[in-house]
Chain A
Amino acid sequence: MPSVIEIDNLRVMLGRREILKGISCRLGISGAGKAIGLLGPNGAGKSTLIQTLLGFHRPISGSARVMGYDCHRQVRQVRSRIGYMPESDSFIGNMTAVSFLRLMGEISGLPREVALEKAHETLFHVGLGEARYRTLGTYSLGMKQMAKLAQAIVHGPELVILDEPTNGLDPQARQRMLKLVREMKEDHGMNVVLCSHLLGDVEQVCDEVVIMKDGLVVHQADLEAERKSNRRFVELEVAGDDSTLAESLAALGADALSEGGGRWRIVMPAQLEISDLWQVMAKLDLPVRKLTHRRDTLEEIFLKAVGHLQRTPAEAKEVVVNGSL
């Protein structure tokens, strides 16, 4: 099965400036309902990458493929599989939401009757059912965002590209938008590319993340794997006599380092669960003051990738723990 996105040494120039400087990566598995986060500081080339995937820019070298189709040579096939939600306001102000979605559905290839049906269905799905006969120009910012999402999914694309979908939304609307995005991948099997400055949004929704800086991919991570690996690092604080704790944990296969004052850092093997730790504490009759997963947040991964951190806290911890044991 082809990857959702395959980029090979892609270079794109806009005017005289080289924006994408030879990026390569493979993202997602086509048809699997994966969400890919696209992160990077302003000017990193995220939007240019999205626009190149949509066939708006011609690469000067390299290639980009979506669902196995070349974004430049097979642009029609690519576009017929994509739904795109741009960052800025994009609509036709004096059209009603239903007409707008119907038009977008029809030019995406839906038959006339189906387009009308899907327009209504999608507007109800994104929560604009009651406002579907209002002209788009009268919508609030949040409603416009939802209308943009609706036009991106009205034709049921295989890949939905969302550029800053939570921009300008209040917390409630933001959660609703993220819920819709999660549903798109989990319930409807769509692949999603989410470009956002809000790391929390990406962390909540995405399975993979690509971090860009200065037109290059500086980090690519499987967030699911990161989440799993993060579970291995535990910070523990206990009261009472903990002199036998290291021995008990070693018996379970965990590496533990005492920091004094009842504070411990533990690296757990894959098969060990947190409940096993609780059982050890209960057995040793040690009151637990604190037990936390110390993990790399996406923010830390991001800051490291763009050069603001030497290493993430979990990596630092791993060095200390492994170095001393």
Chain B
Amino acid sequence: MAVYKRGYERYDGPLTSHTTRLLAMPRFAWARLMDQKLVVILLALSMLWPLLCGGFIYLANHLSLLQGFGGKDLGKMVEINGKFFLIFMNTQAVFSVLLAALTGPGLIAPDLANNALPLYFSRPLTRLDYIGARMAVLVALLSMITWIPGSVLFVMQSSMAGRTWFAANWHLGGAIVGGFLLRIALLSMVALTCSAWVKWRIVAGALVLGFFFILAGVSQMINAILRVEFGSLFNPSRAMYIIWSAMLGVEAPSGPTAWECVSVLAGLVVVLAMILERKLRPVEVIS
């Protein structure tokens, strides 16, 4: 029977599980994100560097193809090691910031601007569920340009270079996945907090970019004025670079140690989580 001819009837059938209900939120949010051309374009652009790196790995393992261009000398230049993956990760990190700045604010800010939180929280959802569902969108999106292509490159290199290379560099696989997951966790928290802090999407996006650029500037100022190196701790990108260097076994730049950076970033994530917890309430209570 056509819907318009059928009257309203209460649903009394079986209900779905809590997990299924939770997954509905990222599914709808994902569909809305993919409707935005800019997001799709940036996502496609973010795939270019992994493709180039893939080509690079192929050539590095098929030097015979480069014989006409001085292949043996090139072979020394294009060694696939921790440094190669560090460069790959750093480039993808830039795209991940841009993508988080573009997509993150659209996840929470519209709900706050339209006062939709009471609707979500009047259903069987907790704040943690809501944040988890929103974060899942960013994690999935950023994974597509970070650890997934990184793992593909690692597997590709392992399969082409053989067991000897894998035996000597197996830790790189874990470092790529772990390092990127740390980055995604930090980025997602920054993007969601900015989105919850500012109701305007564009301003929230600018805030995400500003967070990284301004803190980078502040850390440079601290280092320059006080003639110290610990200022790098206040630059999340730099701190992440130091952590990745340690994970990939690449010589780390001078300054704070990887563990110091991990501690500072963990503290930052806790602060961001507290802000998020405070901002995401179904009703605002004015003391």
Contacts and interface: CB of A to CB of B under 8 A. Distances in A.
Interface of A: 14-16, 51, 54-57, 75-77, 79-80, 82-84, 86, 88-95, 99, 103-104, 106-112, 114, 117-118, 120-122, 124-125, 129, 151, 153, 155-156, 188-190
A83 B8 CA distance: 15
A274 B271 CA distance: 72
Contacts of A122: 8
Contacts of A107: 21-22, 24-25, 120, 123-125
Contact of B6 (A86, A108, A121): A121
Contacts of A16: 287
B7 interface: yes
B16 A86 contact: no
Nearest to A81: B124
Count class of interface residues, chain B: 35 or more
B12 interface: yes
B8 A76 contact: no
Interface of B: 3-4, 6-16, 18, 20-22, 24-25, 28, 32, 110-111, 113-116, 118-125, 281-283, 285-287
Contacts of A80: 15, 123-124
Nearest to A151: B119
B38 to A, nearest CB: 15
Nearest to B7: A125
A15 B285 contact: yes
Contacts of A88: 115
A14 B285 contact: yes
Nearest to B106: A94
8 contacts: A55-B121, A56-B281, A90-B115, A92-B110, A93-B110, A109-B16, A109-B124, A151-B119
B10 A156 contact: yes
Contact of B282 (A51, A82, A117): A51
Contacts of A82: 122
A151 B114 CA distance: 15
Given A94-B110, A124-B4, A155 B11 contact: yes
A130 to B, nearest CB: 9
Given A84-B122, A108-B21, A156-B12, 15 more contacts: A54-B122, A54-B282, A76-B124, A79-B124, A86-B122, A89-B114, A92-B110, A93-B110, A104-B119, A106-B21, A107-B21, A120-B3, A124-B4, A155-B11, A156-B10
A54 B115 contact: no
A189 B110 CA distance: 35
Contact of B123 (A51, A108, A112, A125): A108
A81 to B, nearest CB: 9
Contacts of B111: 92
Nearest to B18: A76
A117 B1 CA distance: 12
Contacts of A109: 15-16, 21, 124
A88 B28 CA distance: 24
Contacts of A94: 32, 110
A259 B20 CA distance: 71
A114 B124 contact: no
Nearest to B119: A90
A80 B20 CA distance: 14
B15 A92 contact: no
B11 A86 contact: no
A164 B116 CA distance: 17
Given A94-B110, A103-B25, A84 B13 contact: no
